Structure 1
Amino acid sequence: MRTSSATSRRRVALASLTVLSIAAATGCAATREATPAALSSAGAARTSCDESGNSQGITATTIKLGSFTPLTGPVADPGTSGLAGLQYAIDEANAAGGIDGHQVELVVEDDQYDASVALQAARRLNESDEVFAFAGGIGTPNFVGVLPYIKENAIPAVGPYAPSNQVGVMENPDVFMIWPNFIDEFDVAVSWMMENEPVESISLVQQVGDVGDDALAGIEKALDGTGVDLTTIQTVEPTTTDFSAIAQALRNADTEMVMFIAGPVVVGQVIQAMAQIGYTPRLLGQSDMTDESWLSEFGGIGEGMIVATKVAPFGSEDPLVQQFVDEWTASEGSAPSMWNAAGYTQGLVTLEALRTAPALTRDCFEYALETMSGFETGLIPPVSFSFDSRQGTNAVGVAKIEDSKVVQVAPFQLVSGE
């Protein structure tokens, strides 16, 4: 049976996350109609919320949340694993009595990692299921495709794992982000590599769209002034299945390092295709490759890969990390994955805002998020938002894959985002 021990875990700082404050993201003011609880003047912090405002999805006994995430398609494993973590957090809260006497219900839609499907899923959740807010979700292009709808309808959305530079900014004021974007992620990882294990030639395997564009911007930022440029860029689609031509093109370029920004399965299959033709360069990739399911399938050929980290590695000796791993394992019968931890963290932040909201209205829920400061989940740096910031954390670590395990080589560090 799950207990409320997670509460104590959230009250103590994770020792390995030596982050004293979270850099505030800035942006333009939202262009939506003011409410009675709106800011009294541009940039001024409000002191109340609309307690009689929109409270759809709330009954006397339940709070209905919605989540759209990939359950099928090329990112099905991260989506289903993240959902399991989110549901775990909700089940834990319900077992402890719920939120002020309300049990939390989660309605889920499969968005197939497709923007158009995600938009229809979000419409159903908001208009047919009448959910109170969106919680969690995995995937960038699918979530970014829903941003205009979220803004138009002022739907609170908490913690989507969608590291685009369009998320976590005031242009989308209803979305509260807890993950650094791909620009910052690759800036930190590549900068560490160039300072500690430099190379003179680099190729990039880049997913088409915002995901790849953001990562490319981060790589170029890190390489600025080093005298090293990308030798070649090979683009892939999330649905690509034959990687032989890409592997051969990378072999022909013959660079010291190949970097990756693509779906985790695609990354693993490209590495396999390179190995099959005898090309084994050094490797660098995004945080997706710290997930245990990826490591079990591709960790052997990914040996030595440099990866960014957003969730504390489970190999950490920190007792709070081990507490989460032990409790999950005891409850679920197997060790958690990185995506389980990501979903669990999304759930903890959502639930904390529900607990602290002055009233169960959408405006008061967002007010609770805006006033969240130093909230401890135990798996990521402390979460802090403000009235002019939607970036709850902005810290990235660096690790390497050694013996199919994630070994942290640089602690989480704040990113300015500038």
Structure 2
Amino acid sequence: MRTVHRRATVASLAIVLLATATGCSATRGEDTASGSGSGEARTSCDENGVSQGITDDTIKLGSFTPLTGPVADPGTSGLAGLQYAIDTANADGGIDGRQIELVVEDDQYDASVALQAARRLNESDEVFAFTGGIGTPNFVGVLPYIKQNAIPAVGPYAPSNQVGVMENPDVFMIWPNFVDEFDVAVSWMMENEPVESASLVQQVGDVGDDALAGIEKALDGTGVELSTIQTVEPTTTDFSAIAQALRNADSEMVMFIAGPVVVGQVIQAMHQIGYEPRLLGQSDMTDESWLSEFGDEGEGMIVATKVAPFGSDDPLVQQFVDDWTADNGEAPTMWNAAGYTQGLVTIEALKTAPALTRDCFEFALETMSDFETGLIPPVTFGPDSRQGTNAVGVAKIEDGEVVQVAPFQLVSGD
């Protein structure tokens, strides 16, 4: 397996240059997923089409994800998990004798950078499909380009209500959006550990808007309204004014939807001025790197979960944890598991595609049913469904550990 990092560096992954594979760019009408979004179940695909990124011995995939910038840690950790899934598949013989090559771009968690990265991957590197990636605003910024060029994209960790819907039929989603995530977490909190007042630290943009919609849905009819909403940018570094405003509101709970480091630093700023409310945040705070840095400050935080706890008795979860630990010398993180899951779904579709064309690859995804990864609920897509699984659990941070308090709960998709 050779991995190409032409414009990105990941210390844990080898950097190897390779010649660009030849191929034909795909546009709608030329080896496209012609049945995608039709609402009718297909029974076949175009096995005679020609797709870029496929040679006699390789399948070239592309991934754009933040390797620098405010979300670098989730991006690099997710990429390591994705790479591990690909390496494992290649060691097992690859796909019909072909090895999978991964070309990676650093999108810096920036929509404009991500768009240029996607263009290079599709037009210069001529990848077969996009796989993986971490971050919502960066991925959402590429959606029009993906749709225009009919590029299959599998499993981006981009919890947005614009992803996993038929308006973007080439994107196959396996993560719940933030509307559903916060609806489930806040509803659990109000039913089991209710509060009388709450405030919100909200990242600007679709990410924050979706989370707010979920919070308002869960609080509807409870009599609780948000006392204050403090907005942050991913690049915000001074949180003293935000902490003071939250203290002035004096809510019993502060909820968070922002980058993991931002969340941790806001909590630290609140504690420095003596304000220690109860806490609720998104699933990002279940990652071991966040717990290692901010676990003490986050004690008691209620968090949504999207990945099964590593203590699960599911044999697929235990196999992943054991194999990762043996091969890497340390236990996996939540972001490692997210990337690994993205890889598993992509590889399964490559294995089951009737032919290695983009149309047949999307056909394999459309017809995927109850695919088990162990780390997320079984994945099922359909001719009119791009949300492969939609379930959220709830946990609490206790003594630096993630303790599940509610199992995965299925939520309705769009």
Query: TM-score of the superposition, structure 1-length normalised?
Result: 0.91
- Asked whether 1:197 is paired with 2:216, we answer no
Distance 1:275 1:317, change over 3 A: farther
Q: Give the deviation of 1:417 after TM superposition.
A: 3.0
Q: Give the deviation of 1:326 after TM superposition.
A: 1.3
Tell me the residue number matched to 1:285: 281
In the alignment, residue 255 of structure 1 is paired with which amino acid?
S
Identity %: 89
Please give the residue correspondences for 1:172-187 in structure 2 after superposition, counting only pairs within 5 Å: 172-187=168-183
Q: Give the deviation of 1:314 after TM superposition.
A: 1.6
Tell me the residue number matched to 2:385: 389
Tell me the residue number matched to 2:223: 227
The superposition leaves residues 182-236 of structure 1 with CA deviations (integer Å, 9 ceiling, x where unpaired) of: 0000000000000000001000000000000000000000001111111100000
- Secondary structure in 1 aligned to 2:165? coil
Distance 1:39 1:174, change over 3 A: closer
- Secondary structure in 2 aligned to 1:343? helix
324, 328, 335: which one pairs with 1:328?
Answer: 324
The superposition leaves residues 168-195 of structure 1 with CA deviations (integer Å, 9 ceiling, x where unpaired) of: 0000000000000000000000000000
Q: Give the deviation of 1:52 after TM superposition.
A: 2.3
* Runs (5+) with no aligned partner, structure 1: 1-31
In the alignment, residue 88 of structure 2 is paired with which amino acid?
E
In the alignment, residue 391 of structure 1 is paired with which amino acid?
Q
Report the Cα distance in structure 1 between the residues aligned to 2:407 and 2:36, rounded to whole angstroms: 40
- Secondary structure in 2 aligned to 1:367? helix
Q: Give the deviation of 1:40 after TM superposition.
A: 11
Tell me the residue number matched to 2:22: none
Report the Cα distance in structure 2 between the residues aligned to 1:211 and 1:280, rounded to whole angstroms: 25
Report the Cα distance in structure 2 between the residues aligned to 1:353 and 1:142, rounded to whole angstroms: 25
Tell me the residue number matched to 1:295: 291
367, 371, 388: which one pairs with 1:371?
Answer: 367
Distance 1:339 1:413, change over 3 A: same
- Asked whether 1:349 is paired with 2:345, we answer yes
In the alignment, residue 138 of structure 1 is paired with which amino acid?
I
Report the Cα distance in structure 1 between the residues aligned to 2:35 and 2:356, rounded to whole angstroms: 20
Report the Cα distance in structure 1 between the residues aligned to 2:47 and 2:339, rounded to whole angstroms: 29
- Secondary structure in 2 aligned to 1:322? helix
The superposition leaves residues 220-254 of structure 1 with CA deviations (integer Å, 9 ceiling, x where unpaired) of: 00001111111100000000001111001000000
In the alignment, is the contact (CA less than 8 A) between 1:38 and 1:46 conserved in 2? no
* Runs (5+) with no aligned partner, structure 2: 1-27
In the alignment, is the contact (CA less than 8 A) between 1:54 and 1:363 conserved in 2? no
In the alignment, is the contact (CA less than 8 A) between 1:315 and 1:407 conserved in 2? no
Which structure has more relative contact order (CA 8 Å, sep 6+)? It is 1
In the alignment, residue 314 of structure 1 is paired with which amino acid?
F
Distance 1:202 1:36, change over 3 A: closer
- Secondary structure in 1 aligned to 2:293? helix
| Coordinate RMSD, CA, aligned | 1.6
Tell me the residue number matched to 1:210: 206
Report the Cα distance in structure 2 between the residues aligned to 1:36 and 1:201, rounded to whole angstroms: 51
Q: Give the deviation of 1:315 after TM superposition.
A: 3.1
Distance 1:232 1:150, change over 3 A: same
Displaced runs of 4 or more, over 6 A: 34-37
In the alignment, residue 414 of structure 1 is paired with which amino acid?
L
In the alignment, is the contact (CA less than 8 A) between 1:206 and 1:235 conserved in 2? yes
Report the Cα distance in structure 2 between the residues aligned to 1:363 and 1:39, rounded to whole angstroms: 8
Report the Cα distance in structure 1 between the residues aligned to 2:102 and 2:37, rounded to whole angstroms: 36
